[in-house]
Amino acid sequence: MPSKTPARRTGYGSRLSFAAGLALTLAIAGFLILPAILSMLAGVTANYFRGLSSGLTLRWVGEVLALYSDTIVLTLGLALATLATTLVLGVPAAWFLVRNPGRASRAIEELLTLPIAVPGLAIALAMILVWGGVGDLRTSWVFILIGHVLFTLPFMMRAVVANLQAIDARTLEEGAASLGAGPWRRFLEVIVPNARPGILAGSLMVVTLSVGEFNLTWMLHTPLTKTLPVGLADAYASMRLEVASAYTLVFFVMIIPLLVAIQWLGGLGAPGGKARR
């Protein structure tokens, strides 16, 4: 009879490799998530320096909502406005780059990545020098919106470009054109549905970056246009650690449902009209 020892050794080695991979993944996840969990727990403790032994309270969360509710509303509004703007500008621009490959397109794509490489403070200073004197733009939330669009647009375009290149969207468009579809119909009914995974990935990046962006926003904000990250920095600077930790808790409670909603909306276009799981 053939020996079963090699098969047993192979099965044991596979289980050992799986266990090692799982342990490494959990260790990395814990390293990334544990600080955020501890910070959120500090936001519901009665005394930060005594820890959980001092008891739990929602007092600090209440203070955040009372003192900084306007920053939360403004941050959400900016994130959604940034997402809408990058969708309107980024998806057609990404399709143009894919549809017209060449040196010029590659040069344009590389230029669009400059806001990522340049520090946010430098971009904000340039915006103030160029557009700071245009009417009331400097004191408007639209000024911050422009900065967020400049910063996040490359992420939307890169995600959509990669997706369109992977599915050979040019061939799909040529097939639709051969059937008599016009340019707008080809874009809306062929390109956009097939680019949905890239659009979803870009949307998630745009929203998270806009909500959490600090450097550029800190330079552009005014006392009337303070966003959540700027308010969080103010709370930490004032040494109100419980309030700042509660601010972090509010941030996570706000951003997680928003990201889940974007994923759900992105899955509505899946076959059958149901969100993908």
pLDDT for the residue 70: 83
pLDDT for the residue 4: 52
What are the tens digits of pLDDT across the range 112-141? 777 777 778 888 888 888 887 777 888 889
Half-sphere exposure of 263 (CA within 13 A, CB side): 10
Query: What is the arithmetic mean of pLDDT over 163-181?
Result: 77
Q: Which candidate, 227, 255, 233, places its Cα nearest to that of 68?
A: 227
Query: What does pLDDT average to over the chain?
Result: 79
Residue the block writes with tokens 């059958």: 272
Residues in the chain: 277
Share of the chain above pLDDT 70, in %: 88
Whole-angstrom distance, CA of residue 249 vs CA of residue 106: 42
Residue 140 dihedral angles phi and psi, to the nearest 5°: -100, 155
Instruction: Please say whether the beta carbons of 271 and 196 come within 8 A.
Output: no
pLDDT for the residue 170: 73
pLDDT for the residue 275: 44
Query: What is the arithmetic mean of pLDDT over 32-56?
Result: 74
At 9, the pLDDT band (50, 70, 90 cuts) reads low
The domains of the chain are located at 5-42, 59-267
Instruction: Please say whether the beta carbons of 84 and 145 come within 8 A.
Output: no
pLDDT for the residue 271: 46
- Which residues are within 8 A (CB) of 266 and not within 5 positions of it... i.e. 6 or more apart? 196, 199, 200, 203
Residue 53 dihedral angles phi and psi, to the nearest 5°: -65, -20
- The secondary structure element, H or E, covering residue 55 is strand 51-56
Residue 90 tokens, joined: 């980024």
At 277, the pLDDT band (50, 70, 90 cuts) reads very low
Q: Is the pLDDT of residue 7 over 70?
A: no
Q: Is the pLDDT of residue 276 over 50?
A: no
Residue 46 tokens, joined: 């009665």
pLDDT for the residue 83: 93
What are the tens digits of pLDDT across the range 37-48? 777 777 778 776
Query: What is the arithmetic mean of pLDDT over 175-182?
Result: 75
* DSSP assignment letter at 138: G
pLDDT for the residue 196: 86
Query: What is the arithmetic mean of pLDDT over 56-67?
Result: 78
Lowest mean pLDDT among 11-20, 198-207, 250-259: 11-20
- The secondary structure element, H or E, covering residue 208 is helix 196-212
Q: Which candidate, 185, 267, 30, 81, places its Cα nearest to that of 275?
A: 267
Q: Is the pLDDT of residue 145 over 90?
A: yes
Q: 59-267 belongs to which homologous superfamily?
A: MetI-like (1.10.3720.10)
Q: Is the pLDDT of residue 179 over 80?
A: no
What are the tens digits of pLDDT across the range 76-104? 899 999 999 999 999 998 888 888 777 77
Half-sphere exposure of 114 (CA within 13 A, CB side): 6
Instruction: Please say whether the beta carbons of 192 and 199 come within 8 A.
Output: yes
